[in-house]
Structure 1
Amino acid sequence: MTLRRTLLATGIALAAALGTPLAGAQTKPIHLIVPYAAGGPLDVTARALAEQVKGSLGTVIIENKPGAGGNIGMDLVARSAPDGQTIGVAAVATMAINPWLYSRMPYDAAKDFSPITQMVRVPNVLVMNADTASRLHINSLADLIAYARKNPGKLNYGSGGNGSAGHLAGEMFKQQAGLFAVHIPFNGGNPAQLALLSGQVDFNIDNLATAAPNIKSGKLKALAVTTAERSKLLPGVPAMAETLKGFQIDTWWGLVAPAGTPADVIAKLNKAFTDALKAPETQQRFGLLMAEPVATTPEQFGQFMTRERARYQDVVKRSGAKVD
């Protein structure tokens, strides 16, 4: 055997023993499943992070697997090998709402996943059709509550469907404010927004990323954000908690792996993605989407999802919403 071949063989054996690939060796790409269609906020943020972690994790391939309110994509994650090669974007709907909304779930949100990190928090915002708000002399959340109490059933609100985040946020608002407004479900968030813009419905509770362009254009009037405090993304708009003490509901999503994924693999994924979330370019890019990056430990994200599931169990029950 030549000296060159001897050295190469020794190098391969040493690399195998140390468990590290040789420089230039190809590693398997990570598949990141987004349980919703391409082009939405979850998809856009996932693709941005995939670019950011190339240096530490290698290629991350985004796979959009929409359907059944996100359940199809998350079921694929749950059924994947727990080796870190397949991970998924877990959202408030798939992890906290759907378990109570669907009579039968293909996965157990509490047991079938290993949390990696939260990714994003997006404020929701209560918005009115600007012309309707002007006509009814509603300039604040307090004005809206006062009008609705004096005129029960005259106001209505839209959402992307029964059991959607907008529907449940509306039900929480009605319960805490002690008022009645008619819920009008639409087949998705876009039709609900169009109905609000055309004046078919009076108000919606939508995520800020979706509502922001029409707020800026003056077509929608923002009365309050649903975060516990005012959002730096919309600093001039008060928080609902300033009028309704304790009111808080956000849109959020994060990263999970199949249950049983080794702790060292989770730790590696957590470091790569939290470093990416803290990067200035990520902060800037997400800010343009009206989304706030949130980097957490796996334990923090797991505890957060547990609390959210418990909270939405009561909200869904009170709303009476059911799917299938």
Structure 2
Amino acid sequence: MCAFGAIVWPPRLPRLRGANILVATRHGATCPAGQSTFLGRTHLAQITRRTFATGAAAAAAVPIAGQRAHAAYPGNLTVRFIVGFTPGGAQDILGRVVSDRLGALWGSPTVVENVAGAGGNLAMDRVAKGPTDGSQICILPPGIATNPFLYSKTPFDPEKDLIPLSQVATLGNLLCVRKDLPVNSVAELIEYAKKNPGKLNFASSGVGTTVHLSGELFKRMAGIEMVHVAYRGSAPALNDLLGGQVDLIFDNITSIIGHARSGNVKALGITTAARSSLAPEFPVVADTVPGYETTSWSGVAVRAGTPKEICDKLEADTRKICQDPILKDKLATLIAEPVGSSAAEFQAFVQAERAKWGKLITDIKVKLE
């Protein structure tokens, strides 16, 4: 006598109408021909073609194990958030905030890994070539839009290998000048530059950074000339601005706001489209240069090929945490605003950033190797 279990069918059903068909086993046990056990009673399994079709349809309605795993994402996974920059910077802090809040929402462990180098390319490449089970999430930086134009070759395809799912945060840069430069507004800076062509210089944290590209875009849109002075990082650039060795910088507001508020530098304007609710004292550069806007931002992305169920879950949960008061408070320390866009909105934004910066980078002929 065998235990009740799965039904094993021959490749083709017999043509005999009403024929008895073998019912078999669980764990490999077999029954005597034509018999099965069900709740202790022995009976003949009179299973016809119609009964088989009904059973097959019912079986098809049962979710497969993989589908159940997707619905339960992240389940038992330890999700790793891959950040393309060193610890302590804005992108790293944003990544840790996202990791913390999603981990709290899921009730499961999360880890932040810093894979710094090549303007975020190394981290993006790690995720682009990683698993498709949602266990690796890229903290997506602006480099996804700019790096294809800055580097002759990237180790992954930025347009095909990653799926942007939601923009988490955005923050502006702050146009600041040395405190003894005889200008007190964006309009006065432009006038001074036109009267002294080529004499002004602007510092940046490195070629191709948002700090650098903000200055290049300003030059072009304001119709002025300035000399770019690239540093290896924000700290040495800021030190030379404080010391008067350089004239101005479009630095991330997170890095420079303390000096601006203390009067160590003069802040002329923020590069966002509207005043920041977190720093409303700074006017908008676009009030003087219409259409000017640059931001640093961060979002989440996964490897292409990740199942839709996982992508949808991660998108929805990321949007949810962007309404989390704890996340908002932590972003406020960076003077960053939460976004929480949909995948479609974020992907359209990334494409617009590619078009905007690709044209500028190509025009000014900047390349990194």
The normalised TM-score by structure 1 is: 0.89
Identity of aligned residues (%): 36
- Match in the other structure for 1:166: 211
- Match in the other structure for 2:320: 275
Q: Gaps spanning 5+ residues in structure 1: where?
A: 1-13
Q: Deviations along 1:42-62, whole A, 9 cap, x unmatched?
A: 111221222212243321110
1:82 aligns with 2:127: no
- Match in the other structure for 1:107: 156
Distance in 2 between residues matched to 1:55 and 1:173, nearest whole Å: 41
1:274-293 → structure 2 map (5 Å cutoff): 274-293=319-338
Distance in 1 between residues matched to 2:360 and 2:234, nearest whole Å: 20
SS at match of 1:31: strand
Note closer, same or farther for the CA distance 1:319–1:18 as it changes in structure 2 (3 Å cut): closer
CA contact (8 A) 1:126 1:204 kept: yes
1:24-35 → structure 2 map (5 Å cutoff): 27-35=76-84
SS at match of 1:104: coil
Q: Which has the larger radius of gyration?
A: 2
- Match in the other structure for 1:320: 365
1:113-132 → structure 2 map (5 Å cutoff): 113-130=162-179, 132=180
Distance in 2 between residues matched to 1:267 and 1:36, nearest whole Å: 27
SS at match of 2:176: strand
SS at match of 1:117: strand
Equivalent residue letter for 2:315:
N
Distance in 1 between residues matched to 2:66 and 2:197, nearest whole Å: 73
Correspondence for 1:298 among 343, 357, 361: 343
- Match in the other structure for 1:62: 112
Distance in 1 between residues matched to 2:360 and 2:86, nearest whole Å: 26
- Match in the other structure for 1:10: none
SS at match of 2:312: helix
- Match in the other structure for 1:7: none
Distance in 1 between residues matched to 2:209 and 2:334, nearest whole Å: 21
- Match in the other structure for 1:11: none
1:139 aligns with 2:188: no
CA contact (8 A) 1:100 1:316 kept: yes
Distance in 1 between residues matched to 2:346 and 2:75, nearest whole Å: 31
- Match in the other structure for 1:221: 266
Correspondence for 1:189 among 211, 223, 234: 234
Note closer, same or farther for the CA distance 1:178–1:15 as it changes in structure 2 (3 Å cut): closer
Distance in 2 between residues matched to 1:257 and 1:26, nearest whole Å: 17
Correspondence for 2:91 among 24, 32, 42: 42
- Match in the other structure for 2:294: 249
1:171 Cα deviation (Å)?
0.9
SS at match of 1:61: strand
Equivalent residue letter for 2:133:
D
- Match in the other structure for 1:206: 251
1:88-103 → structure 2 map (5 Å cutoff): 88-92=138-142, 94-103=143-152
CA contact (8 A) 1:168 1:319 kept: no
- Match in the other structure for 1:8: none
SS at match of 2:322: helix
- Match in the other structure for 1:231: 276
Equivalent residue letter for 1:285:
K
1:259 Cα deviation (Å)?
0.6
Distance in 2 between residues matched to 1:208 and 1:78, nearest whole Å: 30
1:318 Cα deviation (Å)?
2.1
CA contact (8 A) 1:186 1:192 kept: yes
Note closer, same or farther for the CA distance 1:151–1:55 as it changes in structure 2 (3 Å cut): closer
Distance in 2 between residues matched to 1:20 and 1:264, nearest whole Å: 9
Equivalent residue letter for 1:54:
G
CA contact (8 A) 2:94 2:298 kept: no
| Backbone CA RMSD of aligned residues | 2.0
Higher relative helix content: 1
Q: Deviations along 1:68-106, whole A, 9 cap, x unmatched?
A: 1111111001001211111111111x2111110000111
Distance in 1 between residues matched to 2:104 and 2:238, nearest whole Å: 39
SS at match of 1:19: helix
1:150 aligns with 2:200: no
Distance in 1 between residues matched to 2:122 and 2:263, nearest whole Å: 38
